[in-house]
Structures are given as structure tokens and as C-alpha cells.
Structure 1
Amino acid sequence: MKKMIIASTSTIYGGSYLEYLLPTLKSFFSDVKTILFIPYARPSGISYDAYTNIAKEAFQKIGIEIEGIHGYKNPIEAIQNAEGIFTGGGNTFELVNQLYKNDILETLKKVLENGTPYLGTSAGSNICGINMKNTNDMPIVYPPSFKTLGCIPFNINAHYLDPIEGTKHMGETRETRIKEFHVFNNTAVLGLREGSWLEVIGETITLKGNYTARLFEKDKKPIESGIGEISI
């Protein structure tokens, strides 16, 4: 049975890394002593070691150890044997590229479907959907496929932003870009605002946190999805 937390972001304004989620994570990972960290997304281009140390510092506050997957000779076995798994944010293109390069995407999907507890933030949340086509990231590398885990039956647009009334910015809004996506794709998209997350237990998906989410489906008007169970 799946057990996942899919968060829009690791850090909300004014807080430290994972600070707003730590009370939830302490309960969620209550039976876990060590979490396998996947640092492949490399935010701002930082090294795997530097990124893993940031995760270590956060999880030490709730008494959980972190080990980076890059420290293992066999990443497939590392995933198979993990008590819990955390995939951090950064660039989704590079994250997916490395998941394919290390041949671990299908193994990761399998262990998550079988109940290994999982935390994803930002890019680590993007990969939980059908594909990564609704990422906000620049295509700095070209992964073999845009197909991702498919642990939830829709895509995530992390860090979802609403249009700002009165702004002079002339670029496309997130809503505009998602509408463009739906010209060529049928997959539903959930705009997940910072400070909110999805809790997945089995096939039940529940929106938690401080904000509603914005649900986009092809040929339908977008709607606000309130805190509570989500059905798509």
C-alpha cells in the first residue's frame, strides 16, 4: 500500500529547510531510522554531497539519519533495501535523466507501490505523476523519456502561482501554460501551492496544508480543490 507525501516545496518563505513539514514527517516516518536520499535534482547545481548534508541537518532534528543514494555502488539494491526514501527538489529534467541513467525508475515505482514511505518535494513531487511535462524547470539536459512514476493518476505543477492582479508582467501565467499542455495532452494537472502537500495512503489522496490546490482537466474550467480527499 502506497504511503507518500508529495509536497510543493521543501522551504516556505522565512523558514528553514523542511521546517514547516517536520512535525508531519516525524509522524509519517515514525518507524524509520534511516532514509535514502536521492539528490539527483541538484538545486542551483550543488553537489550530491552538499545536498545530502542539507537533508541530513533537517532530519537530524527529528532523529532520523539520511544516506545519499550516490554513496552506494548498487543504487537498485539501495532502493530495494531502503526503510524510507526522500527525493529532493531542483531541476526535474536532470532528476529524471539520472533516474533513467541509473536504471532505477521502475525499481523506485515498485517499492513505492509496495509501501516504502516516500517524501518528494518540488522536482521529487513532479516525478510522482504520469509524466514530468508540467515542471517549471529549464530543459538543461534531455532525459530518455518524460514518463515518470505514475504513482498518482495526474501530474503535479509544483510551486503553483496565481496571477497577480495589476501586475505589468507580460509573460505567460501557469494557468496559460497548463492550457497549452491540454491542447496536446489529456492528463489532469494539479497546481500545488507552496505550503501544501498531498498525503497518499493506498489509493486515497488527501490535500493537506494551508492552501487549496487548482485542478485543471482538459476541456473543463479549472476548479479549486479544497483541503481533504481529492478525486480525479
Structure 2
Amino acid sequence: MDLLLLSNSTNHGEPRLAHARDALRELYDDREVLFVPYALADHESYTGVTAEAFAEAGLRLRGVHSFADPAAALASAEAVFVGGGNSFRLLRAARRLGLLDAIRAAVRGGARYGGASAGTNLACPTIRTTNDMPIVEPGGFDALGLVVFQINAHYLEHSPGSTHMGETRAERIGEFLEENDVPVLGLREGSWLRVGPQEGVHLYGRDAVLFRRGADPRELPAGSDLSADLSGPARFDEPA
């Protein structure tokens, strides 16, 4: 597998995907990329702005919603990019359209997979560590399982001096770990992972935070090799 998992698609004050153009070029090279736009409601507009961003990187992109059979198109794709938005809406559409098995088959056959935010969540075993509101019922939380760990995209620390009384992001991840023995990587905005058979799991862009059950959160600098930290079986709670 060859994966590019972005925390976010847009950094403050920058054009869409500008921070990851080199990484996108390296991943996709001259392949036509099939774009999965189902995390947002307006598929056509979403595909348009994403195609413009890919063109800035010298890449070709086509929305999979334009195919008569999106699942068949994805199953034979050479390259896939799944956009951000609402993870629950994305997963519901992926289930209804049969895209999960199609994407898995393509990636196992050598297709390159990229995702941002919700698209990165979809690459994990489940979407249980998303920040999104469950605006729809997705029919279960199991996702693609292209990696064996969970990711929290857009990871953000609690601001010192804040009077907000809700749970911090770290506290929510801690609650997840009380029920599931699975590593969670908090990807700050501007960071991304490359996952591949040769390089393992590497962190780029910015630093990140690794959460494990029974251990203090650990800061990881950009450039870290996380292959040893993010391996092994994932153990989730069983449905009631």
C-alpha cells in the first residue's frame, strides 16, 4: 500500500492543498486521480475546487460521482483521493454505494490512496476518533482499515486560560482509549503521514501527538519514523 494521509486540506492563509503539493506529486505522479466527494453535499462544486488544486500540482482529477458505477470505477482505479468534510456522511455514502470494498481492492492491487481530514479518517479501522457531529446514521463505524491505528485529524490543544468547560481533544481521546486499546495519532493541521511498503509510517509537515492506553501522550517531531509505534493488532470494544 502507498498512502498519503493529510490532517487537513487547507492551511490558514494558503490555497487549498498548497502545503502538500510536493507530497501529492510524489504520490500520484502522472496517474489520473479519482476523487471521492461524498463528505460534502455538493459533489460537483467540491470536485471542481479540488480539481483546480490538483491542477496546481500538475495532476489530473475526476470526480467518481460522474461515473455510472462509482464502485466499479474505484475498483479499477490507479489512484484515489478522498476529500474532507463530515466523516459520518462520507461513510454512509461509501456503504450505500459499495465503495469500501472497491477502494480496498484497488489499494491492495497497487492503487495510490490519499485522503484529507474525513478521507484520512476513512483509512483507519473505524471513524470513532473523528471530531465530526453524527449528522447521519452511517450503519456502523467500521471504515477501510488500511492502517491499524486511529487518527484524530485537526488535532488541537486546550488553550491556556480558556474558560470553556467542555472536554478537551486530549480528554476525548482518553475516553476512547478507556474503551479501545488502539493507538491514536493526533495530527495537527499542516501535518501528514506517508505509509508505504518501503518507508513504513513517516510523519511530515508538522509535529503530532501519540496517545496510547496507560501512557502519557508523546510529542512526535516532523520527520519521525512511526513504523514501530503504529503497528500491531487493534482491539476495539465489542458491540452490545
Q: Give the TM-score normalised by the residue count of structure 2.
A: 0.91
CA distance in 1, matches of 2:55, 2:13: 20
Equivalent of 2:225 in 211, 222, 229: 229
1:35 aligns with 2:30: no
Matched ranges for 1:150-189 at <5 A: 150-189=145-184
Work out which structure has the larger RCO, using CA pairs closer than 8 Å and 6 or more positions apart in sequence.
1
User: How far did 1:83 drift?
Assistant: 2.2
CA RMSD of aligned residues (A): 1.2
CA distance in 2, matches of 1:149, 1:63: 28
Aligned to 1:207: 203
Equivalent of 1:98 in 93, 96, 107: 93
Aligned residue identity for 1:109:
R
- Deviations for 1:101-144, whole angstroms, at most 9, x for unmatched residues? 00120221122133211110000000111110000000000111
Aligned to 1:11: 10
Matched ranges for 1:123-142 at <5 A: 123-142=118-137
CA distance in 1, matches of 2:174, 2:28: 37
Aligned to 2:21: 22
Aligned residue identity for 1:207:
L
Aligned to 1:145: 140
Unaligned stretches of 5+ residues in structure 2 = 231-240
User: How far did 1:81 drift?
Assistant: 2.2
Q: Is the 8 A contact 2:78 2:106 kept in 1?
A: no
Q: Is the 8 A contact 2:72 2:102 kept in 1?
A: no
Q: Is the 8 A contact 2:124 2:149 kept in 1?
A: yes
CA distance in 2, matches of 1:132, 1:20: 25
Q: Is the 8 A contact 1:113 1:151 kept in 2?
A: no
Q: Is the 8 A contact 2:43 2:65 kept in 1?
A: yes
- Deviations for 1:70-101, whole angstroms, at most 9, x for unmatched residues? 11111121112222111000000000000100
SS for the counterpart of 1:127 is helix
CA distance in 2, matches of 1:75, 1:200: 25
Matched ranges for 1:79-98 at <5 A: 79-98=74-93
Q: Is the 8 A contact 1:85 1:116 kept in 2?
A: yes
SS for the counterpart of 1:118 is strand
Aligned to 2:108: 113
CA distance in 2, matches of 1:53, 1:70: 12
Q: Is the 8 A contact 1:5 1:199 kept in 2?
A: yes
Identical positions, percent: 38
Q: Give the TM-score normalised by the residue count of structure 1.
A: 0.94
Aligned to 2:235: none
Unaligned stretches of 5+ residues in structure 1 = none
Matched ranges for 1:28-67 at <5 A: 28-32=27-31, 34-42=32-40, 45=41, 47-67=42-62
User: How far did 1:65 drift?
Assistant: 1.9
CA distance in 2, matches of 1:78, 1:56: 18
SS for the counterpart of 2:138 is coil
Aligned residue identity for 1:206:
H
Q: Is the 8 A contact 1:3 1:202 kept in 2?
A: yes
